[in-house]
Amino acid sequence: MRSGEGVRPDGFGARVSHVAGQARWMRRRLLGMIVDAGQGHPGGDLSATDIIASLYFDVLRIDAANPDAPDRDRFVMSKGHCTGALYTALAAAGFFPEAELDTYLKPGSRLNGHPNRTYLPGVETNTGPLGHGFPVGVGIAVAGQIDRADYRVFVLTGDGELQEGSMWEAAMFAGHRALSNLTVIVDRNGLQQGALTEDTNTLEPLGDKWRAFGWEVVGVDGHDHAALLAAFDDAVLPRNKPRCIIATTVKGQGVSYMQHQASWHHGVPSRDQYDLALRELEMEITR
């Protein structure tokens, strides 16, 4: 299933169902892209898919026919290595033809391993070096605040990325500026390349840290579409500080042998593993 062809459905239940369908399609499509390319980051792609689907197919005010509209919402993919999830969302939303996904990571393709706004419409800023995208998002939000613009800024960051000092400098500044137009979502899957985040550099108590920097904080199940949409609905209400949504997720969500496994940060499934993954994801559709 793919969409991007219609408007946001009426009714909360219909909205949830629409996002869920998009997320299922994205998971199947991005895994095929990674297998064909022989490289990628499936673990983080799969943990972020439901968040990105919720944003692109329900929340963001964007228009693929006018990707640089001044009043558009801005989305920054700070965990820039997870392009499988981002590119499938952009294609389904109509920013470029779905068939172009078949060129993922191939020579001459616009679909790089990290997003590049010079190549692709719908990409707000180039990201890749961890700790870079979120500070840029803060800058975009500051510009909106100064201009008294009504666009909103959403940033998706990984939890391992929060070990970068630049992230906390940006968080401190955003709290100081009371950037009520800014929402950051933490993909809290608990794993980074090679290890648990807590074994590498302790992040907890994570919510308290954001609050100490002047942020409003909410925790959600990052695979519960209803919970995600409710959190995003709340995020658009008038407020006087930036909001951090800590989304608890599973690295490799939806594929049993990838779940909770650091080795799938950038592993590539064999053809047999890919077939198994598709069967599991098809089973998810029928439940």
Q: How far apart are CA 248 and CA 244, in angstroms?
A: 13
Q: Determine, yes or no, domain membership for 5.
A: no
Q: Determine, yes or no, domain membership for 4.
A: no
- Given pLDDT bands bounded at 50, 70 and 90, which one contains residue 285? low
**CB-based contact 23:51 (threshold 8 Å):** no
* Percent of the chain topping pLDDT 90: 90
Q: Determine, yes or no, domain membership for 3.
A: no
Domain of residue 148 covers 12-286
pLDDT (tens digit per residue) in 195-207: 999 999 999 999 9
pLDDT of residue 283: 81
Least confident of 58-62, 104-108, 279-283: 279-283
**CB-based contact 92:2 (threshold 8 Å):** yes
pLDDT of residue 239: 81
Least confident of 119-128, 130-139, 145-154, 233-242: 233-242
pLDDT of residue 74: 98
pLDDT (tens digit per residue) in 270-283: 999 999 999 999 88
Q: Determine, yes or no, domain membership for 62.
A: yes
Q: How far apart are CA 207 and CA 246, in angstroms?
A: 8
Average pLDDT over residues 154-163: 97
Q: How far apart are CA 260 and CA 169, in angstroms?
A: 30
Average pLDDT over residues 187-193: 94
- Given pLDDT bands bounded at 50, 70 and 90, which one contains residue 193? confident
Least confident of 3-12, 139-148, 246-255: 3-12
Number of domains in the chain: 1
Q: Check pLDDT > 60 for residue 120.
A: yes
CATH number (domain holding residue 159): 3.40.50.970
pLDDT (tens digit per residue) in 23-41: 999 999 999 999 999 999 9
User: What rounded mean pLDDT belongs to the chain?
Assistant: 94
Q: Determine, yes or no, domain membership for 6.
A: no
Q: Determine, yes or no, domain membership for 88.
A: yes
Residue 49: name the closest of 243, 237, 252 by CA: 252
Q: Determine, yes or no, domain membership for 7.
A: no
pLDDT of residue 57: 98
Average pLDDT over residues 163-183: 97
**CB-based contact 217:207 (threshold 8 Å):** yes
Residue of higher predicted confidence among 237 and 103: 103
Task: Give me the sign of the Cα torsion angle 136, 141, 144, 149.
Answer: positive
pLDDT of residue 237: 63
Q: Determine, yes or no, domain membership for 145.
A: yes
- Residues ≥6 apart with Cβ < 8 Å to 206: 159, 162, 186, 188, 246
pLDDT of residue 10: 87
pLDDT of residue 2: 37
Q: Check pLDDT > 90 for residue 194.
A: no
